[in-house]
Amino acid sequence: MNPPGHHPDAKDFVAVGNSGKPYPPIKLIYHILYKLNVEDTYAWGKEVYSPFEGYIRKVENNKDDRITLNIVSDLFKGLILAPRNANKSIDYFLGNHLIIESIEGTYALMAHLRKGSIKVEEGQLVKAGDIIGQIGNSGNTIQPHLHFQLMNENDPSKSIPIPFSLKSYKIKQEGYWKDMTNDLPKNYQTFVVE
């Protein structure tokens, strides 16, 4: 079983500042030499919205967030220790997460949410754009971000991820914003959804 995020149709979304970094540039030294608090990142605590109308099929809301970051120890854990955890349950990798089933039968997984931030319950009907939680740093993660994927069934360990695109967004290219439709930003590309 591969942990989520290893499939090309699953995406990790990270909030960045004007510098294109997930935290203020002055904090870089803390991220490398010391410990950076998750509250110093741009993603921590940002609201997460439902991508479509559907029913909440699974909620995990009680996993602790890792509140400090250090690039050296995080890489060590990710490269050295992660393979040792390959036999753990999918919930170990996802941390706090939820799954929504659309009216058409597509499942959306949103993972690494902040402990206690999920505002919906299993069986609840949500509409597109409803606030459902906040970005956290739970599960197998090196910084606060949102893991998102669409799937063909409710079990992430058995499902097949489904390719998706964003209806509209803007990417930053050479200092200017360019309108995009029915596509998906490339890895490490800065974009906004309005």
**Beta bridge partners of residue 177, listed in sequence order:** 172
Q: Are 143 and 43 in contact (CB under 8 A)?
A: yes
Q: Name residues whose C-beta falls within 8 Å of residue 132's C-beta, 6 or more positions apart in sequence.
A: 48, 49, 50, 56, 98, 100, 110, 118, 119, 120, 126
Task: Specify whether the backbone of 112 is left (phi greater than 0), alpha (psi in -120 to 50) or beta.
Answer: left
What percent of the chain stands above pLDDT 90?
A: 46
Q: How confident is the model at residue 2 (pLDDT cuts 50, 70, 90)?
A: very low
Domains of the chain listed by start with CATH number: 11-162 (2.70.70.10), 164-194 (no CATH)
Q: Over the chain, what is the mean pLDDT?
A: 85
Indicate if the pLDDT at residue 117 is higher than 90.
yes
Q: Mean pLDDT check: name the lowest of 69-73, 117-121, 137-141.
A: 69-73
Note the pLDDT of residue 81: 55
The b/e string for 4-20 (b: 16+ C-beta within 10 A; e otherwise) is bbeeeebbbbebbeeee
Q: How many helices (H) and strands (E) does the chain have?
A: 3, 14
Backbone angles phi, psi at 18, to 5 degrees: -60, -25
Note the pLDDT of residue 160: 87
Which stretches within the chain are classed as H helix? 28-33, 71-76, 90-94
Q: What is the 3-state secondary structure (H, E, C) of 166-182?
A: EEEEEEEECCEEEEEEE
| Across 5-12, average pLDDT | 69
- The larger pLDDT score, comparing residue 32 to residue 21, is at 21
What distance in Å separates the CA atoms of residue 84 and residue 53, rounded to the nearest whole number? 38
Note the pLDDT of residue 95: 94
Note the pLDDT of residue 110: 97
